[in-house]
Structure 1
Amino acid sequence: MLPRICCRISTGMLLPSNQQPPLSPPPSPSNTLSSQSSSSSSECSSASVPASSNRRQDFPGGLINRDNSCFINSIVQACASSSSLQSYLGSLLDTNPAARELFYLIERLNLNLPSPHTYTTASLISSLKSSELFSTSEQQDTHEFFLFLLDALRPGPMDKVQSLPFDGALNLRYRCLKCHDIQQPQSVGFNSIELNLPVISSLPSTLSSVSFLSRLAPPAKLEDLLSSSLRSEVISNIHCGRCSCLSALSHFNKMLAHLHSSPNPSTCRSADLDSLLRTRIAAVTDTLRKPIITDLDFEGHKLPQLVSSTKIRDSSISRLPQSLAIHINRSQFDSEHSMPRKIDTPVVFPEYLDFHKFMDSEQLPVMPQNLTFRLSSIVVHFGIHSMGHYVTFRRHNNAWFSISDSNILRVSLDSVLSQGRVTMLFYDYDVSCESSTTASAYSAMVDTPTPCSHQFMTEPLHENPCLA
């Protein structure tokens, strides 16, 4: 289950209507700036920018906190820094209401104005199916809302032309430790990578709090967490097609031997059973001769018993998305107190992330020279498991900003990279150092259709294929 880290209310200020930026097309009423807030304009400026920053500079837009909506605001702000998502949304303006609302909201957030400007997510939430889930003050989790939003933005099952910029693919290979069978690689789609932090062991006495112990834990490196999630894993009690065929072949041979050794058998009945057993033995033997037994081969035999075994699962990335979303799972059950706790272990993450060592080279016709992703935004949670607040740090026009709902502050890259309690990270494919050969190889890699699931290595496949 995904962690449910809650939010607190943060008062949002509105820009007066006489300072509204010109937009095309005109914004809907629920997304425009309220004229009733003219008396609060000076408060907005002083609350969002420190006194030392009175000089003219360009600010991205902020969002009003509506009934504990910082979990929504933080994801929308993070998405506003993804250029590939904006291009994708622009292609769905006439067919997808949620994509249209998000496109124009991001367009407003990315306007450059000399003072902070603030908007609302009301129209976006209203356009989402089951929007009542977010219409109350019930506190939610950013990652859950991110997945919910992606579902709303995904093309219908009949649309096989394009996929979300966050869609990638993972290759899974299973090796049986009993019969040494290697299954055909299975391609599983994902639109976010969920990484688990090292488990914090409880200590006796008053130091048993998971949150307290996690503050004492050494920092975890993002690259190490990615490598750990892709390492070989031993899985028990998983059915094996080859083991089942071998077991069935032994069973049929024993039945055939018993048939011929039984005294006074019925001649007619024995002949029919002998023919049936020999036919099934021949069919199973033909299947066992194949280097790879597919599910279709296995299901066609209708074997009397499925045999489970222990297998090793090897995982690797076969297709990278254009925009990479990473979720750091900071929830752990504290057995000492029988309740979930937040893990505060800091995570060290880079501005640039090279994915060469995480790729499946066997599944790529050409390995691109450049597989570098650049950090575009992060979401940080301040507080404990049961309450707190989400803040987004995002890149905008080559500058970094800390955005807490309507409060906006320009910060340095070093300040961003020091946010160790990060819960979500967003990276965009870096085209700045891309050659023509690399571009072709990368395009071929992302254009491979793959059924897409919500989670990295954890969720079942959707029926509709996703084409990047």
Structure 2
Amino acid sequence: MSEHIHANLRFEGASSNAASLGTVLAGVVLFAFFLQRASHFTNFPLLSLPEYLWNGVVTLTPNWLVTRRPLSDGDESKSTAYAAKSQSLRSFFGLDRLASTRRTQTELDNGPKGLGNWDNSCFQNSVLQALSSLPSVASFVGVFDRLAPVGEEETTTQELAALMGRLNNSTSSQSYQWTPPKLKFMNSWQQQDAQEYYARISDDIEKDFVKALNLRTATPGLETLQLCPIDFSPTSLAQDISNPLEGLLAQRIGCTSCGYVEGISLVPFTSITLALPNMFTCDVAECLDGFTSLESIDGVECPRCTLIQARQHLLDAGDPGPTIAEGDLDSQDAAELDSIDNSNSLLETLDVALADEVFSDAALAACGIPKSTRTTSIKTRQVAVMRAPQCLTLHFNRSMFDETTGDLRKNYAAASYPKTLGLGQWCVGSAAAFLQDGTEKDEHWTTNPIQSMLPNYFKGMSTQQGPFYNLCAIVAHFGRHENGHYVCFRKMVSKDEKKKDVDAHLINAEKTSDGFQQTSSKDAATEPTWWRISDEKVSAITEFEVLGQEGAFMLFYEKVNNQEEPSSPLAGDLPIVLEAAGEADSEPVEILSPLPLAHAKVQ
């Protein structure tokens, strides 16, 4: 009897334990399902259980264990402190040594290293990998160590140069690297935009170089040699070293009513954001056409139309004499107003302003025209590439507004892109100009606001096809708009390629006169290999698969070397044909100037 009772008790205990285990498993499944569903409606990242445990340990670790500096309340300081604590704990527990012995796909021959991800930092890892694939950027940030002052804190550029060297070192024993705290300046606990991180990186690089150059020019003599041990003169540094990521856009704004063009503004850029059409497929050429197309803007004040209309009313009603409408002028316009001769009649004042094209607020106030009565018109705006960068970065804007829900959602349009991109037809000055006898001029510039500056709106052919760019990396996004995963596809030249001097990409080298240089059989043996990098996971991939990625988010191109420079007014004194707006019968004016217009301005 007692044995039967004990057996029943053991059976009931086992049943109770099984029921408890089933309850726990059901709870874990429900909790995981809740986290997965919550990640679709929030920006909170969905990580694995070890990642959650690691993040908890890092968060609970006091800051004073890794840094003695007081931290501010900003997200950037918290992200940097978190990265520093994570790096220190990895070194303490030997996780970095574990990475060197761990066998992963990264150990393929000639392959780049991956980047670890414990905190949803795929948006950072993909951009850092893409930048590491650009030879000009690697050389540019590499020379900064020779410019940076000795004994100062490590800058963003120095940390980036060191990380890029480790990522491109295929002989390293470590399977993957970790992003240094200096580069973790965006909150990686939430889903972030890779393009925003790229913009911050490029901006910090520019600031670091400007600071270093200013320090050299501000401390001439022996002090400079001690602070910046580099064989460059301070006067030639700014001219010889240029940011390979930066180019110039030309922006033209003109009135369709009177034809007045406010000059051409030069706007620096490090990336071009392209809008994707609401279609299933598109290509880069269509997106660049849309980016550089004429854009109509309604309801914009036009000072020339205002003066013309005021003059016409004055002729109809008679000249009442000088009248000043000071209105709400600022101090600069008020000072200009005091310098204007008010002894002339109002009609004479209007004629002088129109003849001299003085359209400031002070000039309009001197004509008795308050701001409330100024004329509005339809203006056109157009941008084009003025100076092409050494490294061209294109960003596909995949955010679109959902009119049904009022929220932003992802545009899943499949954007195709070429291996080699010719940027010539989107560069200013590429439209051909023809005289009456059919002779082609060097460049065609039109100030007519209803005409495009680019050849795709002209009957003539483009005068240039280059500069040409080779594709080096792609950042693709997989998932929804609220969350997802960034993956980098990049190429890496094999280890047999000869190393080039760091200064070759930074100093203005002599150009070959015969244009393109043919690739020899020896160069063909160093054909780059493409790699798919998802954080620390690295695998080889074919070029066909790379060019077939439909979820491309950013494209990184490198300019082809040994090619003729594009015809551009910034490249030298080139003949430029300027066609005046509204003067169809007048002869084009040919000028020799490094800028297209005398009043061109840099923003």
* TM-score where L is the length of structure 1: 0.71
Q: Distance in 2 between matches of 1:301 and 1:287?
A: 8
Contact 2:299 2:377 in 1 (8 A): yes
- The residue number in structure 2 matching 1:311 is 379
User: Residue 416 in 1 paired to residue 484 in 2?
Assistant: no
Once superposed, what is the RMSD of the aligned Cα atoms?
3.8
Q: State which structure, 1 or 2, has the greater radius of gyration over its C-alpha atoms.
A: 2
User: Residue 219 in 1 paired to residue 277 in 2?
Assistant: no
- Structure 1 residues 120 and 167, CA, compared in 2 at 3 Å: closer, same or farther? same
- The residue number in structure 2 matching 1:88 is 140
Contact 2:249 2:269 in 1 (8 A): yes
Q: Distance in 1 between matches of 2:419 and 2:156?
A: 30
- Structure 1 residues 378 and 411, CA, compared in 2 at 3 Å: closer, same or farther? same
- Structure 1 residues 108 and 151, CA, compared in 2 at 3 Å: closer, same or farther? same
Could you give the per-residue CA deviations for residues 257-291 of structure 1, whole angstroms, max 9, x where no partner exists?
A: 4579xxxxxxxxxxxxxx9473453233123235x
Q: CA deviation at 1:33?
A: 8.2
Match of 1:335, as an amino acid? E
Q: CA deviation at 1:112?
A: 1.7
Within a 5 Å distance, the mapping from 1:1-400 to structure 2 comes to 9=47, 30=87, 34=91, 36-37=94-95, 40-41=98-99, 44-46=102-104, 48=105, 57-93=109-145, 94=148, 97-113=155-171, 117-125=175-183, 131=185, 133-134=186-187, 137-155=189-207, 156=210, 161=239, 162-199=241-278, 217-250=279-312, 257-258=319-320, 276=342, 278-290=344-356, 293=357, 299-302=362-365, 303-305=369-371, 306-361=374-429, 370-397=466-493, 398-400=528-530
Contact 2:256 2:379 in 1 (8 A): yes
Mean Cα deviation higher: 414-423 or 276-285 = 276-285
Q: CA deviation at 1:88?
A: 2.0
Provide structure 1 residue ranges, at least 5 long, that are not aligned to the other structure.
13-27, 200-216, 261-274, 448-463
SS at match of 1:361: coil
- The residue number in structure 1 matching 2:535 is 405
Q: Distance in 2 between matches of 1:443 and 1:285?
A: 33
Match of 2:262, as an amino acid? Q
Q: CA deviation at 1:357?
A: 0.8
Share of identical aligned residues, percent? 26
- The residue number in structure 1 matching 2:584 is none
Q: CA deviation at 1:377?
A: 0.3
- The residue number in structure 1 matching 2:34 is none
Aligned pair count?
Answer: 383
Q: CA deviation at 1:176?
A: 1.6
* TM-score where L is the length of structure 2: 0.56
- Structure 1 residues 176 and 9, CA, compared in 2 at 3 Å: closer, same or farther? same
Q: CA deviation at 1:358?
A: 0.6
Match of 1:403, as an amino acid? I
- The residue number in structure 2 matching 1:16 is none
Could you give the per-residue CA deviations for residues 266-317 of structure 1, whole angstroms, max 9, x where no partner exists?
A: xxxxxxxxx9473453233123235xx366x565443423322101223321
Match of 2:191, as an amino acid? Q
Contact 1:368 1:442 in 2 (8 A): no
SS at match of 1:227: helix
Contact 1:320 1:446 in 2 (8 A): no
Contact 1:169 1:189 in 2 (8 A): yes
Q: CA deviation at 1:76?
A: 0.5
- Structure 1 residues 465 and 284, CA, compared in 2 at 3 Å: closer, same or farther? closer
- Structure 1 residues 231 and 38, CA, compared in 2 at 3 Å: closer, same or farther? closer
- The residue number in structure 2 matching 1:428 is 558
- The residue number in structure 1 matching 2:597 is none
Contact 1:57 1:114 in 2 (8 A): no
- Structure 1 residues 354 and 360, CA, compared in 2 at 3 Å: closer, same or farther? same
Contact 2:416 2:547 in 1 (8 A): yes
Q: Distance in 2 between matches of 1:141 and 1:45?
A: 31
Contact 2:423 2:468 in 1 (8 A): yes
- The residue number in structure 2 matching 1:207 is none
- Structure 1 residues 361 and 347, CA, compared in 2 at 3 Å: closer, same or farther? same
- Structure 1 residues 328 and 82, CA, compared in 2 at 3 Å: closer, same or farther? same
SS at match of 2:109: coil
Contact 1:60 1:113 in 2 (8 A): no
Q: Distance in 1 between matches of 2:139 and 2:362?
A: 43
Q: CA deviation at 1:338?
A: 2.6
Match of 1:71, as an amino acid? F
Could you give the per-residue CA deviations for residues 429-455 of structure 1, whole angstroms, max 9, x where no partner exists?
A: 011xx34xx1596896499xxxxxxxx
- The residue number in structure 2 matching 1:268 is none
- Structure 1 residues 249 and 441, CA, compared in 2 at 3 Å: closer, same or farther? closer
Q: Distance in 1 between matches of 2:348 and 2:45?
A: 64
Q: Distance in 2 between matches of 1:164 and 1:9?
A: 37
Q: Distance in 2 between matches of 1:90 and 1:321?
A: 18
Contact 1:31 1:105 in 2 (8 A): no
Q: Distance in 1 between matches of 2:167 and 2:552?
A: 22
Match of 1:91, as an amino acid? V
SS at match of 2:277: coil
Q: Distance in 1 between matches of 2:115 and 2:490?
A: 14
Q: CA deviation at 1:225?
A: 0.7
Q: Distance in 1 between matches of 2:316 and 2:384?
A: 42
- Structure 1 residues 287 and 430, CA, compared in 2 at 3 Å: closer, same or farther? same
Provide structure 2 residue ranges, at least 5 long, that are not aligned to the other structure.
1-41, 52-83, 215-237, 323-340, 433-441, 444-462, 494-527, 574-600
Match of 2:388, as an amino acid? L
Match of 2:118, as an amino acid? R
Q: Distance in 2 between matches of 1:182 and 1:323?
A: 31
Q: Distance in 2 between matches of 1:77 and 1:443?
A: 34
